[in-house]
Amino acid sequence: MRLFSYYAVIAIFIVGCDSKQDPSGKRSAQAHLVQSITLQRTPLTSNLTVTGSLEASRIVQIHNEEQGRITSMPVYPGDKVNKGDIILELDNTIIRAQLDKAIAAHKQARLDYKRIKKLKPRNLASEDEVTRAETAVELTRAERALQQAKLNRTVIKAPFTGLISERLKEPGDIVPLHSHILTVYDPNSLIAKIYVSEIILQSIKVTSQVNIRVDALGDTLLSGTIIRKHPLINSSTRQGIMEVKINNAPEGAYPGQLARVKIIGQTKPLPNLPLHAVRHDTRGEYVFRITRENKAEYTSIKTGIQLGDRIEIITGLAEGDRVVSKGFLKLRNHSLVKIDSTEKNTLEQTKNNSKK
């Protein structure tokens, strides 16, 4: 029993010797080792992959400008056509007869005009008769031109070199005026139409180069150019439309396919912190702000925009405040903290990111 008491006294003495004391004799609190980061006003930057659909920016629906029966349509979906190729013909029997009639009437009017004009110097024809004959020539000329235009419209040619994507009628069909019969699109005009958040839309410049991946074509990366930003923002989604032209679209790329566009976007300079520095509890969002006395102070905050791994700080902190970024285990309000030596590297990395 005496031996046990002896060892117990020795143990208490050793613990007492190991405890740190200040000059007043009180035991000093042990500092909590943490890493910190400074609240800075920098743009929030992120690499985004935005999905969209391929569309043909140059596409024409072929409609008939004369009604009648289709006599020939030698093209089918997928066929390539060159500019000027005949892709549709309508029955022109009646129009051709009307044109012949107009040509004959115009010929007769010209003969009548010449005859009356020769009689005028001999006072065998009045000025009024000459004027009416001249008017008849102009009217028959106009009628002839009208029937020729109608005849020309019975033959439809490809407006540009492209692919046939739709064939909605067949030879023998009677088509009313302005019926949609064929669709032609230019495969070299493919664009990816994507929807981008208003937060970063303004920072993305037209003519910027981006990478595009079309799921149907595998993992091949295609180069693209941002050609247009629409000036309207959807009030429901807060997104704007951006068009990206595919440079040298490969074979197998078609309108309607899913496209993924990689873009780099950033906001205007905002006070922000890394996401891992922001904590949550039943009272909401908070951080541990480091005071001048090197104590961790519980501070409620309000956050805003989140982009990538950083988040905007709206209220609760001032620019230049230091907050704990790592070392939260067993950290309490007003705990004495010691800044980890690796913080210097963290600060330098933050400055480099802000310069970018």
What three-state secondary structure class fits 282? coil
What number is the average pLDDT over the span 85-104? Answer: 96
CA distance 190 to 243: 10
What number is the average pLDDT over the span 319-328? Answer: 92
Q: Residue 65 contacts by C-beta under 8 Å, 6 or more apart in sequence?
A: 153, 177, 178
What whole-number percentage of the chain has pLDDT above 70? 87
| DSSP assignment letter at 16 | H
- Position 241 confidence tier, pLDDT thresholds 50, 70, 90: very high
> How much is the pLDDT for 158?
97
> How much is the pLDDT for 6?
46
Q: Residue 177 contacts by C-beta under 8 Å, 6 or more apart in sequence?
A: 64, 65, 66, 67
| Per-residue pLDDT tens digits for 256-308 | 999 999 988 888 899 999 999 999 999 999 999 999 999 999 999 999 988 88
Please tell me the least confidently modeled range out of 60-64, 275-279, 345-349: 345-349
- Position 8 confidence tier, pLDDT thresholds 50, 70, 90: very low
The answer to whether 146 touches 65, Cβ cutoff 8 Å, is no
CA distance 144 to 108: 12
CATH entry, 32-44+270-355, from 2.60.40.420, 2.40.420.20, 3.40.30.10, 2.40.50.100 = 2.40.420.20
CATH code, residues 60-90+159-185: 2.40.50.100
> How much is the pLDDT for 28?
53
What three-state secondary structure class fits 309? coil
Each domain of the chain, given as residue ranges in start order, spans 32-44+270-355, 47-58+187-266, 60-90+159-185, 92-153
| Per-residue pLDDT tens digits for 324-343 | 999 999 899 999 999 886 54
- Position 196 confidence tier, pLDDT thresholds 50, 70, 90: very high
pLDDT for 4 beyond 90: no
CA distance 156 to 85: 8
Average pLDDT, the chain: 87
The answer to whether 202 touches 72, Cβ cutoff 8 Å, is no
Go through the chain and tell me how many residues it has.
356
The structure tokens 């005496």 sit at: 2
> How much is the pLDDT for 160?
96
pLDDT for 19 beyond 80: no
CA distance 58 to 79: 17
> How much is the pLDDT for 345?
46
pLDDT for 15 beyond 50: no
Q: Which amino acid, residue 343?
A: E
- Position 10 confidence tier, pLDDT thresholds 50, 70, 90: very low
The domain over range 92-153 is classified in CATH as 1.10.3470? no
CA distance 1 to 182: 108
> How much is the pLDDT for 249?
87
> How much is the pLDDT for 318?
93
User: Quick one: fold of 47-58+187-266?
Assistant: Elongation Factor Tu (Ef-tu); domain 3 (2.40.30)
